[in-house]
Structure 1
Amino acid sequence: MRYRKGSEEHHCARLEENISVSASSGIPAVYYSYRDNYQSVRLTAEYKGVIRIESMITATGEQGELIQPVDGPILFRTRRITDVASNLNEACTGPTLLHIVGQDEDGFSVHLESILARILRGRSVTELTRRTENYLRQNTHLLSTVSRDQVNDLVDQMKSTKSAHRRAAVRELASYGSCVVPLLRSSLTRNDLDAEQRARIQSLLASRTRVDEDTPSSLAQLLAVDREHWQILAKRMDQSQWLVANDHVMRCGLESLSP
């Protein structure tokens, strides 16, 4: 990673912008703020720790906050500082930004789309989410169908008394690519795993970090066996699309989608 420690400011009639970069043991931290007549945004990313983006809309006082911890799901919430009940007081969680956009596209667009488009050099997370969802709807039959039972059987094989069998299980799980990630994450909730199994699963997850470009097809493969995302998407499907999606989910050994 390339970075330069220090601070910079930019002020003009339309906006104010500040960024500060520091480092500890070679690990950078970023503190960024932006303000214009419409919105103020503050972003912090501290030494491989929590990433937090806070937004406030000047005219309405509506606030938005995204928190991404080191481990665990991303949290996104919007709220109004008022005693009156408001439909702007919402919260959702998910392992990726695509899950967040799928649940609260309006709130995401208001608070985060602009700042993330700047970070991603003009790429729209909302547009990428829509295109990925369309790809999933139209190409369900082309997606991976690795099943929960297959993954659980290979996780069990990691406990074999023969080291060759344990290594073979790891190789086969690695061969599935990014689509196996949601099932591996889910397997960590099992209470019958020993220390070696957990270590091997965590190592596999760490090695699944993607370095390819985010495209609708690559993201669709990542989400192919992610029931949580299919359930989010199911709310915007017609009956025929839902039936195809549910058949795919069932073939992956996952719980049937809710209507």
Structure 2
Amino acid sequence: MVRFQLIQGRLSLNCPQHRKGTQSRDESGISESITVTSERGIPSLHYVLQTAERQIKLNVQHAGQVRLESRFLKSGKRAIIQQPSLGMIRWSLSDEAQVDHRDGATLLHLREYDPEVFDLHFGALIACLLRGKSLSILMDETSLAMVEQARRGGTPAIAEIKDMVESLAASTVLQRSYAHRQLLDWGTPVIPVLLALSNDDLSAEQKARIRDIQNRLKTFVDDTPASLAKLLVNDRSYWEVTAHRFNEGQVMLVNRHLVQFGAAPLSAVSTGGHRVAARTGNSLK
């Protein structure tokens, strides 16, 4: 009835490939239902799976606003992923004692915080939505591609990107249009910098142009390790949570790239001869 895609590390529905309707089954202790609606060709979806042990809910509004919920009935542990059309994705994990939150630009960021717990709640579901593609394997391949992307270089520095953002509020239309085109020409490596900007420091026109740039840089093609590497190569927060994957030589290469980009090198400690990124905050376990 629908086809999911992973685009720039986020789940979305493929708009042309959907069929409106409702299907359900209730047998052998498994209750499952799916409803697909559409407005002006943009699909929405509501899905529920209920077994004796757990409940899974999936809601998608306007193809890209996604809410995933997983609950284990006996323990009461619940995990929720809330993905807006643009902006940070939130992963919440709760039980009877506490609620923890993590925010990330992509699902890859969120999984890296605690792969075991993430996969327990969402691993099988996401693999099913992506027609058998494992987020874990994609992340492994993306890490290697990111190192190669960092080795090649050629991406704009933070200062250059911020200069263009500043020019989006310039006094002349010519300056504003040039900055808009330049940010688009640089492509997806500018996205992490744009996401990190504070809305309080931006004018209404800057906000509108940045939204337009983000929308126009969004493709309709499934992610590959190469496309994700290009998107994430300038994202220091992602390098930080994935640094444990790399050997000392790779971490040194990454740090050179980050410094050239205008970001701080990774916070790292030596463990058993390997460099491992220091993580802050509590685990979601």
Common fold by TM > 0.5: yes
Distance change (3 Å), C-alpha of 1:24 and 1:217:
closer
**Residue type matched to 1:140 in 2?**
A
TM-score (norm 1): 0.85
Q: 1:19 to 1:112 in 2, by over 3 A?
A: same
Aligned to 1:18: 33
| CA deviation vs aligned residue, 1:177-232 (integer Å, no higher than 9, x gap) | 111111122345461x4333332222111111122331111100000111111111
The match for 2:155 among 119, 139, 145 is: 145
Per-residue CA deviations over 1:104-154 (Å, capped at 9, x if unaligned) read 211111111111111111111222112212322355302443111111222
1:129 matched to 2:131: no
Give yes or no for the alignment of 1:98 onto 2:108.
yes
Match among 111, 119, 123 for residue 129 of structure 2: 119
Aligned to 2:277: none
The one-letter code sitting in structure 2 at the alignment partner of 1:239 is E
Query: Could you state the TM-score of these two structures normalised by the residue count of structure 2?
Result: 0.78
Query: Secondary structure at the residue paired with 2:81?
Result: strand
- Structure 2 gaps of 5+ residues are 1-14, 269-285
Q: Which has the higher contact order (CA 8 A, sep 6+)?
A: 2
Match of 2:4 in 1: none
**C-alpha RMSD of matched pairs (Å):** 2.5
Is 1:230 aligned with 2:244?
A: no
Q: Which amino acid aligns with 2:94?
A: R
Deviation at 1:9, TM superposition (A): 0.5
- Runs of 4+ with deviation above 6 angstroms: none
Match of 2:208 in 1: 199
Q: In structure 1, what is the Cα distance between the partners aligned to 2:29 and 2:144?
A: 37
Whether the aligned pair in 1 keeps the contact of 2:70 and 2:79 (CA below 8 Å) is yes
Structure 1 residue runs without a partner (length 5+): none
For these two proteins, the number of residue pairs brought into alignment is: 253
Q: Distance in 2 between matches of 1:105 and 1:204?
A: 32
